[in-house]
Amino acid sequence: MQTKKPVSTVQYKQKSMMTNILFGSRWLQLPLYLGLIVAQAVYVFFFGVELVHLVATANALEEAHIMLIVLGLIDVVMISNLLIMVIVGGYETFVSRLNLEGHPDEPDWLSHVNANLLKVKLATAIIGISSIHLLKTFINAENLTDKVLLWQTIIHMTFVVSAVSIAYIDKLMSHSDQHHQ
């Protein structure tokens, strides 16, 4: 029978210091999330510029052109939503808790966010953004080649298949986790 050697105070402190360094390294992601907030501010500015352009030139624009501008605005909103999911969900999952329990503005999805759910939500948001781009392409189809239409459709379908695959794998993993509990 082997007996465990007692851990020396020096070994314990070294292990504790290494654990603190490794665990603390998650805070290196904070500048990345702050950078995404700046990127979102750029999108808010871009949205404002496009909205002013739409309002200022509305009476001189054809309906199809108005629709393209509005779809562009919707695209900006969807990208902004994607940024919020990454910023808030990523911070909550990988850096630190936000402690929003009971806050009236807490998003429903945040209370059960994890890395897999975040991936599924991101993939779904990317499909929405891709759908807007594809719709803009089809509205403007007369000015584009068949090759462009084909490739944008293929790329969109690749996003759809990827998202379905990610969701299916997440379902398999969560089903597997339930069996192990």
Exposure string (b/e) for 86-96, b if CB count within 10 Å is 16 or more? bbbbbbbbeee
pLDDT at 48: 97
Q: What angle is formed at CA 128 by the lines to CA 37 and CA 147, rounded to 5 degrees? A: 115
pLDDT at 31: 96
**Residue 113 or residue 73, greater confidence:** 73
Q: In this structure, are residues 137 and 144 in contact, taking their beta carbons and an 8 Å threshold?
A: yes
pLDDT at 77: 93
- What is the full DSSP assignment across 27-70? GGGHHHHHHHHHHHHHHHHHHHHHHHHHHHHGGGS-HHHHHHHH
Phi, psi of 141 (to 5 degrees): -60, -35
Looking at the whole model, is its pTM more than 0.75? no
- pLDDT > 70? residue 4: no
